[in-house]
Amino acid sequence: MRLYMNQIHKTTEKDLILPNSAQFGQFGVCDWPCYDDLGTNKKLILQVLADRTSRRPRCRYTGPILFKGSTFELRGEHAGKDCEWTIVGGTGQFSEAKGRIYKKFLQNTKEMKIYELNIEATYTP
């Protein structure tokens, strides 16, 4: 499955919150929408809801991905524009899910960064 994830960072609709970033490391909460297309007729397919902890230059993500009433759990680091996350189980129809998400940087605008996600997963419903 190929999707497009938007990281909104320059509007009142920010989807990454970094409280007290001057202290030891950082902790943030992410809520990133993922669409089936980049065009104006795009449909929301899933939401990436992740906790972000970091000590520069690496960020570590953990959290659920919501998809049609079920979730799958992701683990991984963001150490540059392209990276790989691991799918390690979930809930509902994805309770035994395993796989990978390949995240590739596509573009940066004033309001957001856009990434392409290639999801390869297996599960037993």
Q: Give one DSSP letter per residue of 35-95, joined into a string.
A: ES-SSTT--EEEEEEEEEEEETTEEEEEEEEEETTEEEEEEEEE-SSSEEEEEEEEEGGGT
- Looking at residue 55, what is its pLDDT? 61
The pLDDT value given to residue 89: 87
The total number of structural domains that make up the chain: 1
The pTM of this model reads 0.77
User: pLDDT tens across 82-119, in order?
Assistant: 888 888 888 888 888 899 999 999 998 888 889 999 99
Strand, coil or helix: 107: strand
Q: Give me the pLDDT at residue 18, please.
A: 56
Three-state SS at 3: strand
Q: What is the CATH number of the domain that holds 13?
A: 2.40.480.10
Mean pLDDT of the chain: 79
Find the domain containing 40 and state its range.
Answer: 2-122
User: What pLDDT score does 102 carry?
Assistant: 93
Angle, CA 33 vertex, CA 117 and CA 46 arms, to 5°: 75
Amino acid at 10: K
